[in-house]
Amino acid sequence: MSEERPVVTVQLMLRACQGLKLYPAQHPSLQKQIAEWHRCLQQMLLVRPEVVLGVHQRTLFCNDFLFVDGFPSAESLRALFESWGIGRMVIRRGVQPVELADFLVLLTGGRGHCELLAVRMQQAGIRHLEVGPEDEQEASGRARRIYEQAISVTESIINDVRIGKIPQTGAAIDAVRAMVETTLAEPHALLALTLIKDYDDYTFRHSVNVSVIALAVGRACGLDEAALRVLGLGALLHDLGKLKIDIGIINKPGQLTSEEFERIQQHPEEGVRILQRMEAIPGEAIQMALGHHLRYDRQGYPRAAARMNLPETVHMVAIADAYDAMTTLRPYQQPMTPRKAVERMLEVRGSIYHPELLARFAEHVGPYPVGSLVRLTSSEVGLVTEAGMGKTDGVSLKILFDAAGHRLRQPEKRDLATAELDCIVADVDPASRGILIADYLD
């Protein structure tokens, strides 16, 4: 969704709310404001059956658009929603201006619980709007839509490169913007999706995963939103050069010959040549493609870049690239658990990976990263669904197996405070339990 209509609808809604402080609902000036808001909503409802506004992690959203750029209108509307405890407001096709006016009268007429507001709306005959607390499944679904859209955009770019066409950049920039906004508002949501591996579209998914993980690294290192957008774009496009390498070499399960390895080492520079032909690609993003295999000690490749002064975001992409590769089944390797991948990377910090940036990422995701399957002292087995990333009270789990080893028909949610983390005694290989992480991270 474009940024314009969500921003405009929030501005028009707030303007009408403010108008109610000056005029009665029947005043022509206020009726004009509500009519403008209604027209904007009608345009949005032409392409989807409902418009959803709400608050998630103290951030206002409209459908898939998150207001993280400090919009004054969004902040005012967020405060109004929070005064009622509203997590989401749904506006459906068929809504009439009179319903919008009656709703705003109720919304601005006092404070209370959203359940009380819902009852008053029903009594007023408002049928095409509803309010309620935040729907956890909807929040997860919003992140998934952003993630899948990024995969679709990446697939289009990769297909263009394969046929020798210069890819368009606009859709990629929009996709990264949405991922940055989601990362800032709810860091767990997208990172969890990187553990959902689909080997049929690995090339597309790996590019998006590296972008998502790089954003988590950047967030851990305190990058601002503008810097995150450049990082996310460079990470998304970091491996385009591999499309110029024979697929048989890329997926070869055995050891590469010296000639094959030499050809593999050329993919960063191949990527640079592709990105230089694309519009509006920042120079820093091109440097990410060039240097993501260079290593912290500059003993990697391409050798021609070893003496170049490269930004720290290059190292962030290298960390993200390795983390996703280590946790993915490939023809030449078995996947590691997220915890094991972080441990393995920490063993070679200072040589392969930037020690400080990697340490911040490890602290950010916590001792048991999202997607870790763990055994408790009770012998229960659970999946980590939230951890680290500012979650100061430990981790959140879905218990999948009881103490007797029986799989639960309905996973049990459980929170462990920091002081209780010692009840986690071991990692569990998901394959050993027949677990597909994707089934439980939606």
Residue pLDDT, tens place only, 199-246? 557 788 999 999 999 999 999 999 999 999 999 999 999 999 999 999
The Cα 410–Cα 402 span in angstroms is: 11
Please give the single-letter amino acid code of residue 154.
T
Q: Are 348 and 374 in contact (CB under 8 A)?
A: no
Give domain 138-365's CATH superfamily.
Hypothetical protein af1432 (1.10.3210.10)
What is the average pLDDT across 345-371?
94
- Nearest one of 178, 210, 172 to 193, comparing CA atoms: 210
Residue 388 has pLDDT above 90, yes or no: no
pLDDT of residue 140: 66
Separation in Å, CA 69 to CA 7, 180, 184? 11, 11, 10
> If you ran DSSP here, which 8-state letter would residue 109 be given?
S
Q: Domain boundaries in the chain?
A: 4-134, 138-365, 373-439
- Return the minimum-mean-pLDDT range out of 45-59, 279-293, 336-350, 369-383: 45-59
In sequence order, the 6+-apart residues with CB closer than 8 A to the CB of 190 are 143, 146, 147, 179, 182, 183, 212, 215
Residues with Cβ within 8 Å of 25's Cβ and at least 6 positions away in sequence, in order, are 31, 101, 102, 104, 105
pLDDT of residue 314: 98
Q: Cα dihedral angle (108, 110, 115, 119), rounded to 10 degrees?
A: -80
Sign of the dihedral defined by the CA atoms of residues 386, 389, 390, 395, in that order: positive
- Quick check: 201 and 165 in contact, CB under 8 A? no
DSSP notation for 289-345: HHHTTS-TTS-SS-GGGTTS---HHHHHHHHHHHHHHHTS-BTTBPPPPHHHHHHHH
150-176 tens-digit pLDDT: 999 999 999 999 999 999 999 999 899
Beta bridge partners of 396: 386, 415
**How many other CB atoms are there within 10 angstroms of residue 300's CB atom?**
18
Given a cut of 60, is residue 2 above it in pLDDT? no
The pTM of the full predicted model, rounded to 2 decimals, is 0.75
Which of the listed ranges 174-188, 358-372, 389-403 does the model predict with the highest average pLDDT?
A: 358-372
| Least confident piece of the model among 51-65, 133-147, 287-301 | 133-147
Q: Give the pLDDT score at 136.
A: 61
Q: What is the C-alpha to C-alpha distance for residues 260 and 264, in angstroms, rounded to an integer? A: 6
